A and B are shown apart, each in its own frame.
Chain A
Amino acid sequence: MKIIVCLKQVPNTNEVKLDQTTGTLIRDGVPSIINPDDKAGLEAALTLKDSIGAHITVLTMGPPQADNALREALAMGADRAILLTDRKFAGADTWATSMTLAAAIRNLEYDLIIAGRQAIDGDTAQVGPQIAEKLGVPQVSYVDELEVKDEHIIVKRVFEEGYHRIKVKMPCLITTLTEMNTPRYMSVAGIFDAYREKEVEIWTMENLSIDPEHIGLKGSPTKVKKSYTKAPKAPGKKYNTDPEAAAKIIFDELKEKFIIK
């Protein structure tokens, strides 16, 4: 079985601090990690490799530093790593990103493509589904459980009110949730292999059959008009009273605003 895992290197938002004067995020010196939803997807692939055998290719588009994230994936047990890096890919929105990733995937063999639900630095949840659309393969998003049965996978798709159990014929794409599993650590031998025996293949524009108009900033229909930090809300009202009276105040307020009847 051949699996492609798409992953993204993101700043570890747990360690991002706010610049108190400008209200913006300080990204300098923040360690980078594999996006958690993507790491869960990688773990799902590695679990399949352990149980039924699989060849896992990890794929990312990013700056040269994204090499680290791919080495980590190799050290966890992935077999092949490809880094799509080219100045021409820069400034891509989700549409151009999925265009580029899909073009790379067309050069590879696969039964299953796994992408994380969404990245913690963008939260769009668009790239995975867009890749499937562009490749013309079926997709299931928000996957929490995965098993392989012959030509099919059976997945549990989670949403707010419940879940669906869905059977999909491969080749197909799924997007995975952090809650799905606890990713393994890298192993000591895996780390040595990742640097001494395996390599991260660098693919640029040259390696892809893709229209240059469809990639990077030029290929991105999304236009960011303005980026700003949400202004703080006006301070709320404060009542110093006993619980019963407080409950009544809240009740009346909600009623007044037609939130409750």
Chain B
Amino acid sequence: MIFSLSKEHEMLREMYRSFTVNEIKPLAEEIDEEERFPVESVEKLARYGFFGIPFPKNYGGAGGDNLAYAMAVEELSKACGTTGVIVSAHVSLCASPIYEFGTEEQKQKYLIPLAKGEKIGAFGLTEANAGTDAAGQQTKAVLDGDYYILNGSKIFITNAGHADIYIVMAMTDKSIGTRGISAFIVERGFEGFRIGKKEKKMGIRGSSTCELIFENCKVPKQNLLGKVGQGFKIAMKTLDGGRIGIAAQALGLAQGAIDETIKYTKERKQFNKPIASFQNTQFQLADMQTKTEAARLLVYKAAYLKDKGANYSQEAAMAKLYASEVAMEVTTKAVQLHGGYGYTREYGVERMMRDAKITEIYEGTSEVQRMVISAAMLK
């Protein structure tokens, strides 16, 4: 077992850090406050290759790997959870399924601009009555000549409104449950497709979360992703990969909150001493860092397994479960150690705490992760 990063990963981390400190951190507070999608950051992220890290160069990617991708989401999320999820949803939930299940033609048409960051991606599975129970899909797709006609709606879709390309799940045969779900590549601008209500959220407020509405939306037949009836499998495989991204986001939020807390507790004085000199502070920090480091090892291991082509589904679920719960705990403690100031918007830790909560919910709640983990154990 080797627990050190390669030289290229070390250099990537260095680059991610300076990029995040100079380009992402200065905007974090403002985009949260104004609930504004950071269009300017997206341009810069594209320029430096963040949107195509794990994809081969011939498909417009950086020719990197999933570890490099997870580290990118981690570093971005240290300063801004919103930016972390924009990249994660784009890479894991839209570009990845096209890379894994798309035809050569689909890869040429969609993966290349996605990997280059010229187009932004999103993924639509959740509906008002189908969250964890994905089989409850109401959105329907009916083949009519050269087109599938989609009707229905999706909710809570990350990047919606700013994304150009959407992976959308819809029922092609309701009678056979999950085996009747198919996946489609839907472009913004397709007839009958529009963006609905934008959610007002507790955290990751700069990310755009909206409803997708399909009213006799015409999707060309060649935009079917995979085969008819493969949608559920594609969605589950996609979410396996997505969990690495969200786990990395949670990891970044936890580490970001610790870094802020170290700075604050060294400066903040009570009883004429910096509060970092009190043993309670020291023990809290020790616990926070230990758990975060354990989460990091789980996240990196899941990414490593995916890079090796091994089965990583259980490890990704463990990484996501643990990292998100650690993020919630660590950011809550960070607010506590900041005291009254921590509860104000003057310090970033309350934002990190709000951002952390979603990591326990989206791309499979903690409960779903426990289902996935135990199912693999009891197989």
Contacts and interface: CB of A to CB of B under 8 A. Distances in A.
B19 A196 contact: no
Nearest to A195: B8
B8 A194 contact: yes
A171 B332 CA distance: 62
A66 B49 CA distance: 26
Q: Is the interface of B mostly helix, strand, loop or mixed?
A: helix
B76 interface: no
A186 B53 CA distance: 13
Contacts of A185: 15, 18-19, 48
Interface stretch (B57-65, B130-138, B219-227, B344-352): B57-65
Interface in A33-72: 68, 71-72
Contacts of B63: 189, 192-193, 196
Contacts of B15: 75, 185-186, 188, 191
A171 to B, nearest CB: 32
B11 A188 contact: no
Interface string B232-244: 0000000000000
Interface magnitude class on chain B: 20 to 34
A87 B321 CA distance: 53
A13 interface: no
Nearest to A189: B62
A185 B20 CA distance: 11
A196 B7 CA distance: 11
A83 to B, nearest CB: 15
B8 A189 contact: no
A186 B64 CA distance: 14
B7 A195 contact: yes
B21 to A, nearest CB: 11
Contacts of A195: 6-8, 11
A187 interface: yes
B302 interface: no
Interface in B1-41: 6-8, 11-12, 15, 18-19
Q: In this complex, which of A189, A191, A193, A195 has the most chain B Cβ atoms within 10 angstroms of its Cβ?
A: A191
A50 to B, nearest CB: 12
A188 B7 contact: no
A214 B54 CA distance: 49
B12 A191 contact: yes
A19 B336 CA distance: 36
A186 B63 CA distance: 15
A245 B61 CA distance: 69
A189 to B, nearest CB: 4
Q: Is the interface of A mostly helix, strand, loop or mixed?
A: helix
A191 B15 CA distance: 9
A196 B8 contact: yes
A72 B11 contact: yes
Nearest to A190: B49
A187 B8 contact: no
A192 B8 contact: yes
B64 A188 contact: yes
Q: In this complex, which of B8, B12, B61 has the most chain A Cβ atoms within 10 angstroms of its Cβ?
A: B8
B68 interface: yes
A182 to B, nearest CB: 9
Nearest to B23: A185
A189 B61 CA distance: 8
Interface in A190-212: 190-196
Contacts of A192: 8, 62-64, 68
B72 interface: yes
Contacts of A72: 11
Contacts of B50: 188
Contacts of B64: 188-189, 192
A107 to B, nearest CB: 28
Contacts of B6: 195
Interface in A133-186: 185-186
B95 to A, nearest CB: 14
A226 B263 CA distance: 40
A189 B19 CA distance: 15
A191 B67 CA distance: 14
B18 to A, nearest CB: 7
Interface of A: 68, 71-72, 75, 185-196
20 contacts: A68-B11, A75-B15, A185-B15, A185-B19, A186-B15, A187-B49, A187-B62, A188-B12, A188-B72, A189-B49, A189-B52, A191-B8, A191-B11, A191-B12, A192-B63, A192-B64, A194-B8, A194-B11, A195-B6, A195-B11
Given A186-B15, A188-B53, A190-B49, 20 more contacts: A71-B7, A72-B11, A75-B15, A185-B19, A186-B11, A188-B12, A189-B49, A189-B52, A189-B57, A189-B63, A189-B64, A191-B8, A191-B11, A192-B8, A192-B62, A192-B68, A194-B8, A194-B11, A195-B7, A196-B8
Interface of B: 6-8, 11-12, 15, 18-19, 47-50, 52-53, 57, 61-64, 68, 72
Q: Lowest 7 CB-CB distances: which A-B pairs, in order? A: A188-B49, A189-B62, A188-B62, A195-B8, A186-B15, A187-B49, A187-B48
